Structure 1
Amino acid sequence: MIFEVAVILLALLWALSVWYFLNYARRQREAVAHQQVIDAMRDQRIKDLNKRLDDYQNGSVRMGEAIHEVRAVVAGLPDRLERLEQHDPSSVTFTQAARLVSMGASVSELTETCGLTQAEAELMSKLHRSE
């Protein structure tokens, strides 16, 4: 009788151990599947960020090239502007009139010196005295 009870207890203990092991194995499979989903989402996010980074880098390179081209075009403009200002010494430009205003020239002096109309001289005086 004791032997039979021991066998029954061992059988129950064995069944409980098998159930516990199967339950543990199922939880492990679920954890692995969940981790794979998380890994796939992380990998996709990394790919998206890499693509965005590449786009930003390409945009920066294109912008740098455009700035370089603009810088090359703009580099000669001060000399060109000076040549244009000095091209006809008999005509005084608005730039020269602005310089005269900044030095304190009056509206009547602007009309006489620069050949500006009264309205142009007043406008130049108002614009460049307010600076």
Structure 2
Amino acid sequence: MIWIASLAVALAVACSVLGYACHQLSQRLRREVEAQASRDALRDQRIKELGRRLETYLEGSVRMGEDLHELRRLVAPLPDRLTQLEQRDPHSLSFSQASRLVGLGASVDDLTQSCGLTQAEAELVSRLHQAGKDRG
């Protein structure tokens, strides 16, 4: 009989220890779940911020592409226009000579004074020369 009572006490102690261990593990698991939820929320916030930044960069790239397309559209007819201008007045200093002067560092004002070009023509020659340098 005594051994049954001591066995019962031992089982009660073992159950108490196991109950306490389960309680401790449960609390630890709850803390880990809360910590993971906090890390997940932080990660999600960072992902959203990175998404917003990426969207901003993409919008900038699209605008830059549109601007580049517009510039190409504006610059494309310039070589033909220069050829037309060169053929227009054979008695004035040629536009190819003006282009050479720009290559030597002549300003727009220099071209208008020395070549008899209008301000717009001198700017055109200067820009074409600059565009040629940028491509080459």
Tell me what 2:38 maps to: 37
Counterparts of 1:95 and 1:12 in 2: how far apart (Å)? 106
Structure 2 residue runs without a partner (length 5+): 102-113, 116-136
Q: Superposition pairs for residues 97-108 of structure 1, below 5 Å?
A: 98=100
Q: 2:62 matched to 1:61?
A: yes
The CA deviation at 1:94 is 6.2
Contact 2:86–2:94, Cα closer than 8 Å, also in 1: yes
Letter of the 2:48 counterpart: K
Mark the runs of 5 or more structure 1 residues left unpaired by the alignment: 100-114, 117-131
Shift in Å, 1:4: 2.4
Cα distance in 1 for residues equivalent to 2:42 and 2:4: 57
Residue 48 of structure 2 corresponds to residue 47 of structure 1: yes
1:29-51 Cα offsets, whole Å, 9 max, x none, are 01111111111111112111211
Query: What is the match of residue 89 of structure 1?
Result: 90
- Name the aligned partner's letter for residue 92 of structure 1: L
- For the residue of structure 2 that corresponds to 1:40, the secondary structure is helix
TM normalised by structure 2 equals 0.65
Separation (CA, whole Å) in 2 of partners of 1:76 and 1:94: 16
Q: Percent identity?
A: 44
1:91, 1:72 → 2: CA distance? 30
Please list every run of at least 4 consecutive aligned residues from structure 1 whose deviation after the TM superposition is greater than 6 angstroms.
Answer: none
Question: Does residue 1:9 correspond to 2:18, yes or no?
Answer: no
1:76 maps to which residue? 77
Give aligned pairs, total. Answer: 101
1:53 shift after superposition: 1.5
The amino acid that maps onto 1:77 is L
Q: Give the alignment's Cα RMSD to 1 decimal.
A: 2.1
Indicate conservation of the 8 Å contact 2:86/2:95, yes or no: no
* Closer/same/farther in 2, CA of residues 65 and 59 from structure 1, 3 Å limit: same
